[in-house]
Amino acid sequence: MCGIWALFGSDECLSVQCTSAMKIAHRGPDAFRFENVNGYTNCCFGFHRLAIVDQLYGMQPLRIKKFPYLWLVYNGEIYNHQTLKKEFEFTDYQTKVDGEILLHLYDRFGIQKMASLLDGVFAFILLDTANRKVFLGRDTYGVRPMFRLLTDNGFLAVCSEAKGLIDITHSMSSPATITPFLPGHFEVFDLKPSGKVESVQMDRFHCCTQEPNHAVYDTVKNLHSGFALESVKSNIRSLFENAVRKRLMAHRRIGCLLSGGLDSSLVAATLVKLAKEEKLKYPIQTFAIGAEDSPDILAARKVALYIGSEHHEVNFTPEEGLKAVDEVIFHLETYDITTIRASVGMYLVSKYISEKTDSVVIFSGEGSDELTQGYIYFHKAPTAKVAAEDSVRLLKELYLFDVLRADRTTAAHGLELRVPFLDHRFTAYYLSLPEEMRQPKDGVEKFLLRDAFKGLNLIPDEILWRRKEAFSDGMTSVKKSWYNSLQDQMETEVNDSKLEKAPKTFPHLPPRTKEAYYYRQVFEKQYPGRAGWLSHYWMPRWINATDPSARTLSIYKPDKDQ
């Protein structure tokens, strides 16, 4: 997890522009470098480093003697870099950095094949001065963020977070739009002698429903063919364990977020098991956040005891949560309701990890609900086909919602997130299964995933079959939920007449509740005129919903009725 920033064809003095690069300093607390490009006085790179792999040579822009004309900044981890190095016999390696593989692959195969062979999470900016090209690329689910600003006269600015671009100055009279770079895509620009660029190609290199190109070089063997239930369950277990194992690549301490729900419990239990097999020299730390009597805290405690992790509990109060909301919106760069609600706990637990422990690489259960139809509203899907289509839609939109939340809340505190449920092979396999197989069954969502781990004693049975808590409700007191605390607070923050005028005040996606209005107000103060970054609110389907929380749905039945 690092922060990347680059300008091509700046009209303003670079020493003035580079102050913008400091706005993402939280992403890389270990080191900072600012570097001009030889022969292009108005092009430069900025890099904030969080050192995870190769402490000595990991600084960027990455340049090696063999390719003096290539400059690379990237944020991410390439889990199969050793496999590819061996497979293609790249012998003249200069560093131990996982990203060096991009330079060798690009030189041999070109940009499209290079991107499609990477098993990992990444956002990259690659400059080839010999061929006068600039390339941008982002992983399949957008686990690593990247934004771009391009003016009509060819000035390109790129950054891990949009906040590093909003104060960039340029000579155009019309304002330049800042857009999130599309996941699973790469873009090619011609670089002119003036340092300005022109976009010449934008293409997809991988879609979540396709078996990834790098699968043929993967280490998982003996996958069963066909869709017999026992074969499928065995494949799910093999691919999931493989997804966790490959993510152990780190020179820094590994920990895991643990809510006591199905997804984080499977990740934590598998992580603890593999850490023992790989003989890691330290116990895995797990982290839960919640009020003392909250369902999540109690369930997480049970799991931690069962799997034998070094467990930490962070006490959460609605007052503390409310105090953090403005800060959270600044880091998220969104006003989506459920994203903000669910981010507060994750932001506060990340703060604790950063301040009180030495864990830096943090595993988490993101992506499972989208992949395995875990949201409560999937019970209402009209057909298996429609449910399967919605699952793919959710995965493609992750970069706007849950993946955005997971990256920004951890990156705000200099942590690096790892999400095994979004492993390319695991997701492609799960999505290839018959549609009926993936639906909720017997009134239980994620039935197939639960069934795959049944009888293994990996996690306690009651956790394996624990129902999904409504968003962000699991971490608050049985007496009063985080959702209800927010509603009460917003009653005092936003009056009725403001809400009535919302469609005029905020014509793009006007807020319909006081809570949504408050978030929008804070967002507009921090990022005026940037409401277009969000194309739509996250909302349940097939139900007449005005609020994204499952607790407002008639089909929601929490563990304890609150």
| Residues noted as catalytic | 2
Beta bridge partners of 123: 75, 138
Helix (H, G, I), strand (E, B) or coil at 46: strand
Q: How far apart are the first and last CA of the chain?
A: 38
Beta bridge partners of 202: 187
Q: Are 187 and 201 in contact (CB under 8 A)?
A: yes
Q: How many helices (H) and strands (E) does the chain have?
A: 19, 16
Q: Name the residue type at position 162.
A: A
- The enclosing H or E element of 440 equals none
Q: Are 269 and 458 in contact (CB under 8 A)?
A: yes
What is the torsion angle, in degrees rounded to the nearest 10, for the CA atoms of residue 16, residue 20, residue 21 and residue 22?
100
Q: Are 292 and 265 in contact (CB under 8 A)?
A: no
Label residue 211 exposed, middle or buried (CB < 10 Å: 0-12, 13-18, 19+). Answer: middle
Q: Are 329 and 352 in contact (CB under 8 A)?
A: no
Q: Are 48 and 24 in contact (CB under 8 A)?
A: yes
Give the separation between CA 115 and CA 474, rounded to whole angstroms. 39
H-type helices in 161-286, by residue range?
Answer: 229-246, 262-277
Give the separation between CA 156 and CA 149, rounded to whole angstroms. 6
Beta bridge partners of 122: 76
Ramachandran assignment for 542, one of left (phi > 0), alpha (psi -120 to 50 degrees), beta (any other)? left
Give the separation between CA 193 and CA 188, rounded to whole angstroms. 16
Place of tokens 């364990």: 241
Determine phi and psi for 158, rounding to 5 degrees: -130, 140
Structure tokens at 521: 């107000």
Q: Are 314 and 289 in contact (CB under 8 A)?
A: yes
Distance of CA 292 to the CA centre of its chain: 28
Residue (of 154, 150, 143, 136) closest to 40 by Cα position: 154
Structure tokens at 313: 């509990």
Q: Are 141 and 125 in contact (CB under 8 A)?
A: no
Q: What is the DSSP string of 261-296?
A: SHHHHHHHHHHHHHHHHTT-SSPPEEEEEE-TT-HH
